[in-house]
Structure 1
Amino acid sequence: MAHYFVGDIQGCFTELELLLQKVGFNPSIDELWAVGDLVARGPDSLATLRYLKSLDNSAKLVLGNHDLHLLAVQGKLKSANPMDKLNELLAADDIKILIDWLREQPLAQYLPEHNIVMTHAGVPPQWDLARLKIEAEQVSQALKRSDYLESLIANMYINGPVHWHEDLIGIERHRYCINALTRMRYLHLDGSLEFNCKLPPQENHDAKLKPWFSFDSLTSEKIKVFGHWAALMGETHVERTQALDTACCWGKHLTLWQVENNEKITQTNINSR
C-alpha cells in the first residue's frame, strides 16, 4: 500500500491522470490524499470531482478556500469568477450530489502511522493536534447542517477574528478555523492572521510578518502537508513540512509526494509545453 499526497489540483484533471499513471496508482490498495482546492482555475473541475468521489475510501481530502467558495457560488450567495471555469460543473446533472459530497469532506486529516497532518493552508502554531481535530470537526458539523449556506457559508467572507483564543464562540470560532486552515500564509509576530501578502518568504521584506510554518508550533513533531501557497513552489526550508502547491493551474506543474519512499513526482501542465 502506498500513500500519495497531491497538491492543489484546481481542475487540472488531465495532469492528475498523467501523474497517477506515472506512479501506477491502484485505488484497490493505494490511497490518494489531496490538499484541497480541488476545483477552479484549471479546465476540468467536473471530471476532477467525479473522479475523486469515485475513489470512495481510497481518496482522503480536505477542503480548500476554492472548494468552500464553490459552495457559495452553487448556493447563489456569490457570483462565479470567470477565471474559475466552473460553468460545466455548475450545469452538471450531478452538481447537487457533488456538492453534498464536498460538504462531507473535512478541513483536516491525520495519518497516524506516518505522523502526518494535512490541511489546505497550514496549522496555527497555537494549536496542538487535539485542538486541530476539535475545531475542524466543529466546522465539518456546521457544513453538514441543512442551513449551512445561511449559517456558515454566508458568514465566512470576513477576515476576522485574526487572534485565536478559546473563548471565541459560534460563527467567529468557525470563521477563525476556516481562515486559518484554508487561507493562512503569513502571521504577524504576535501570531495573528495576515491575509494580504502572498509573496514567497525570500521576497517578503516586511520583518513584522513570518510564514506560519516558521513559528514554534505545538504540532512541531508532526509532518504538516499543505498546499495553497503557490509562490513557495514546494519549498519551505523548514523540516517536517511538505508544501505541495506548485502552480499547475498557472502553467507550472502538479506535484505528488509518495510517503513511503519520500519521493516527489511532477507532471508539467500540458498547455505549457
Structure 2
Amino acid sequence: MIIYPTLELLNGKCVSLVRGRIDEPVLWHVDPVETARSFVEAGAEWMHITDMDGLSGENGNHDLIENIIRSVGIPVQLGGGFRTREQVEQWIDKGAGRIVIGTMAAHDPDLLKEMAKFHPDQIVLAVDVFEGSVMTEGWRSKSAFDPADFIRSFEEAPLAGVIVTDIDANIADADSSLGLITSLAGQTRHPVIARGTVRNVDDVARLRYVQNVAGTLIGRALLSRDVDLKEALAIAQPSSEPTAEFT
C-alpha cells in the first residue's frame, strides 16, 4: 500500500480543512518545501498536493508547487480545480506525476475518459461523498450521482486510481469512512486510494487489509505529529508470510 504524505496549500501556506470549509482553515506554521523534503527523507515514494486556491480558480500557488515538484525527486500527485484539458496537460508537462480530477469528471465525463487514454496511469478520479452523493466544486455542490454508479461509469478508462473521501464521516470516528471505502473498493477494478481515514498508525494497519485499497493520503495527522511517517511507511509494506520448509 502506498502512503501519500499530503500538503494542502492555501495562499502559499500549509493548511488543513475541517469538512472542506475553506473559510476556516487550520494553519500550520511550517515551510511547504522543507516539509515536502522531510517526506522524502522519511522514505516516501510518492506525495500528494492539493492546491486549495485552485479550487476557486486562483493560481497563486503555482510557483510554489513547481518548486516542490523540482525539489522532492519523487512523483507528485496533484489535485485542485482542474477544469480543462489545457490545465491538466500544463501540469503534466511541468512534471506532475498524476493529476486528480473530480468536478470535471461529473461535468464532462467523456473528456476525462479521453484524457485518461491519452495519459494512461496519470489521471486519478476523485470521488468525494456526502450523504450518499458525489460532491463537486470543491465539496460545495451536491450532485445526483451515486458514488458506486459514478465510479462504475469510468470502469473502462485507464485511470491510475480512484481517491475516495467520505466528507460526512465524524472527524473522531474513522469506522464509517472505512466502511464506505471498503464497499466502493469492492465494486471497481481500479485501485482505490483512501482519504481522510488515517488519524493514527492503527488506521494504516486496518487499511492495509482492505481488498483493493492501494494507498492512503495522510495530511493533518502528519503535521499534527499524530502519525510518524516512517512508522506508517513501515506498516504499509507487505509482510512476508512464513514459508514451510520441506525436506
TM-score, normalised to structure 1, is 0.38
TM-score by length of 2: 0.41
